[in-house]
Structure 1
Amino acid sequence: MHSIRKVYANPNLIRNICSVRGVCALNVVGDGKKTMWSTNKKNIQNYSTITPIMKDVSSVQIVNNALTRFYSKSKSTKHHREYISDSDSDSDSDDEKPKGKGKVKIGDSEFWRRKIRTLHSVLDVNNDGVISYDDFQVLAENFIALGHLKPDDEKAFRDELKTVWEAQFGEINPYNLVNAEQYLTEIHVAVNDKSQRDRIHAFLPYLFKAVDKDHSGFISLTEYKLFFKCVGLTPEDAAVSFAVIDKNGDGKLSIKEFVKLGREYFLTEDEKRISRMFWGPLVSDH
């Protein structure tokens, strides 16, 4: 028997998938029943061929999305490994990370929820209340249009956003829309799963490179304003945020600092951390 591999999609629907000689077992929490699914090949990565064996499930798509997320989250680019390694080695505090069984998970505070709702509003480029893959594409175009990314980085950036989308939200189609509460749920699951944690901020190095117009390896307030402009925030918001996160007051941020702050935004519930301003002013409590 193969080992059980956890797949976190919507936690209200899916808990795990295990493969046993080409057969997948899906636990559907809604009705408490274990439903069997099979593939034509032993490798369950070929998820397009999945068909139900039993008749007590509502949709083959639930499994398709779950498997898409499972295999997408394992992908990694050279840039992702390089910059995540840097930020991990220089973490301010180990209390950002889940400590294991019995310990409090990340994401239980209202402050953390405000941060994630804030990011949802930033990623909702067209301000329709939901995030779609179209929003991700527009976001990419906004940064690429600055003209500072090399062709290879442009492609890697698009690929990374696609991987992030599939890992977090599943299938790419016009009807896959993510509201704020769903986004909160997905991010809460991801930050508490070591295998998913680094994927949620893997696109940050590309944002930095896109606004580092002189390719100096540092960004100034002027360049930080470009970052905020691309995500629909004002120069005034950028000035306020930069003043907070430029901790040493030298007027610049390195890519290591930038990625570290962006990563910490997801992983800490400490309201005193300067990373709280990374994506601009937090949305109001509600």
Structure 2
Amino acid sequence: MHSIRKIYANPNLIRNFGAVRGVCAMNNAATTAVDGKKALWSTNKESGHNYSTIAPITNYTTTDSVQKVNNVLMRFYSKSTKSTKHHREYISDSDSDSDSDDERPKGKGKGKLTGESEFWRRKMRTLHSLLDVNKDGVISYDDFQVLAENFVALGHLKPDAEVEFREVLKTIWETQFGEITPYNLINAEQYLTEMHNAVNDKSQRERIHAFLPYLFKGVDKDHSGFISLTEYKLFFKCLGLTPEDAAVSFAVIDKNGDGKLSIKEFVKLGREYFLTEDEKRVSRMFWGPLINDH
């Protein structure tokens, strides 16, 4: 019964509830359990409403019918989750989405905004310069596409991961920067403003690292789940940085000195780069040397 409650808690599955109506031949109703009590939910078929509206009704059915509907809903739930399996796998490879206490700015109280320090602004300017692939002073969706192609061209991403990677970048652009047009160009100050908003908005902050697992898997040549200095140099090459830059950064962020980074370490460092204002964190070197502030 836990699985069925999960279905009703998921709006996407509620919207698709009509997909099982043909097999729920119990006066156009489906049965579930809420807090241990039987309840019936009308699909409102006769009213002409769409199946996103689920209203309670009062009559009851047999235990056998309840079990049948439960089985149908559980099969539907299982089928509905298959299409997102690979995406969940990539995201679950990272550390927890929730902010840990040590990612909050040092010396700042609860409720304070992230991104208020000059150090944080310098990091964001550094990242803006990397995303500005053609170095014209602004980033565009074309820059995002070129960056994606740099990693895809290495040939280490599986086809489904490649599609997901491009879709993640598209979603990031539309969420943070708006519509995809040749005229939507983001300069450094605009980027700082948008990133400041993103790291202080919980829904965006929890997804800010969504693209990082694809970068890792793009350079993980042997699919070992770890990247060496050689593979980290590939990462920096895709960003337009030098092997020397990669060697310096890798020496700093490889804190345990084992000569490799796991995907969890990689994603944690990349995410921390966005969220911390502690200048002592090794994550400051994740995207290479910080540019000189101005």
Q: Using structure 1 for the length normalisation, give the TM-score.
A: 0.69
CA distance in 2, matches of 1:80, 1:150: 12
Deviations 1:72-111 (A, max 9, x none): xxxx942464145x244795715359965xx321111000
The correspondence of residues 1-286 of structure 1 with structure 2, limited to 5 A, is 77-79=87-89, 81-84=91-94, 86-88=95-97, 91=100, 93=102, 95=104, 100=110, 103-286=111-294
Q: Which has the larger radius of gyration?
A: 2
Q: Is the 8 A contact 1:261 1:278 kept in 2?
A: yes
SS in 1 for 2:207: helix
* Gaps in structure 2 of 5+ consecutive residues: 1-85
Q: Is the 8 A contact 2:236 2:246 kept in 1?
A: yes
Q: Using structure 2 for the length normalisation, give the TM-score.
A: 0.67
Displacement of 1:154 in angstroms is 0.5
Deviations 1:251-271 (A, max 9, x none): 000000000000000000000
Q: What is the identity, as a one-letter code, of the residue corresponding to 2:102? A: S
Displacement of 1:198 in angstroms is 2.5
CA distance in 2, matches of 1:162, 1:99: 34
SS in 2 for 1:199: coil
Match of 1:39 in 2: none
Q: Percent identity?
A: 80
Q: What is the identity, as a one-letter code, of the residue corresponding to 2:133? A: V
Displacement of 1:285 in angstroms is 1.5
Q: Is the 8 A contact 1:91 1:260 kept in 2?
A: no
CA distance in 2, matches of 1:99, 1:175: 40
Match of 1:34 in 2: none
**1:96 and 1:214, CA in 2 relative to 1: closer, same or farther beyond 3 A?**
farther
Q: Is the 8 A contact 1:157 1:206 kept in 2?
A: yes
SS in 2 for 1:219: strand
CA distance in 2, matches of 1:176, 1:80: 29
CA distance in 1, matches of 2:116, 2:224: 39
* Gaps in structure 1 of 5+ consecutive residues: 1-75
Q: Is the 8 A contact 1:96 1:264 kept in 2?
A: no
